[in-house]
Structure 1
Amino acid sequence: MRKSKIEVKAGTPVALRQTKKSQVLEMLNGGGVSVVAIADALSISKQAAYSLIGDVKRSGVVISGAVKDGAMHYSVVQKKKAKAKTLAFGKGASVSDAPSH
């Protein structure tokens, strides 16, 4: 069983464990990264790296690819947008400061 939180002493913040998907997203946000670089950084196969890139795409992040130094490098073009339902309930970034009627 995997634990999603790391317990620490009282008074210090609890850190969430990073998933491989979140690590791939972080690498993609940092600029062009190759599948080989992702696979090496996470100690996984190239196929698993391709799968994680697909997982990030399916979560709503727009990713582009460009050939650099003979290898495809991927990067984030557009970050995931909040869903209309999330915004309607005040959980998104564009919550109005105007009082409700």
Structure 2
Amino acid sequence: MRIGELSARTGASRRALRYYEEQGLLVPQREANGYREYGDDAPLVVDQITALLASGLNSDAIRRFLPCAQGPRPELQMCPDLRAHLQQRRDELNRQQRQLALQVDNLTAHLE
């Protein structure tokens, strides 16, 4: 399928699909005329990328852990280092959440 069809099937913009390609996350074949031709598994891969991005992983982490993804919402098999990476990311988000709560408290105190 071509990029327009993949975009329509997944809801991902053509620009996003090109970005995924640039990042090495999605690898289409090239036809003789230079058009991208995506395989039958491309919609699933795009759904996996989208879900992992929504989980807060960056492109580098997704490239590293995408082979662990299985299914459309992906259930992640614990590849080497995946659990540690996800725990580290969760801990970082918890730290940021605490920091933001302190900032909100400080701002509230100034407004009272």
Pair in the same fold by TM > 0.5: no
TM-score (norm 2): 0.27
Task: Say which structure is richer in helix.
Answer: 2
In our comparison, the structure showing a higher alpha carbon Rg is 2
Task: Say which structure is richer in strand.
Answer: 1
